[in-house]
């Protein structure tokens, strides 16, 4: 679930942190892992993440 029950600026702020937690394979408690998964399922995050991958891959 999102931090405040729905997508908000707080989730946008923490989305890059969630990406780092996943990419560094940090062991997380269940609730935190569920939050990271919520971020990865968020369409706005997916668009941002795909754009970042395109930029890196050039």
Give per-residue pLDDT as tens, 19-29. Answer: 999 999 999 99
Whose CA is closest to 11, among 35, 46, 47? 35
Task: State residue 2's pLDDT score.
Answer: 98
What angle, 0 to 180 degrees and rounded to 10, lies between the N-to-C axes of helices 9-23 and 30-41? Answer: 110
Q: Is this prediction's pTM over 0.95?
A: no
The domain locations on the chain are: 9-57
> Which residues of the chain carry a pLDDT beneath 70?
58
**The residue to which tokens 């998964």 are assigned:** 37
How far apart CA 12 and CA 17 sit, in angstroms, is 10
8 A C-beta contact, residue 32 and residue 50: no
In 3D space, the residue among 41, 40, 48, 39 whose CA is nearest the CA of residue 11 turns out to be 39
- 58: enclosing H helix or E strand: none
């Amino acid at each position: 679930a999102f931090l405040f029950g729905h997508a908000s600026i707080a989730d946008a702020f923490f989305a890059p942190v969630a990406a780092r937690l996943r990419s560094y394979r940090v062991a997380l408690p269940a609730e935190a892992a569920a939050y990271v998964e919520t971020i990865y399922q968020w369409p706005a995050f997916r668009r941002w993440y795909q754009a970042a991958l395109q930029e890196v891959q050039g």
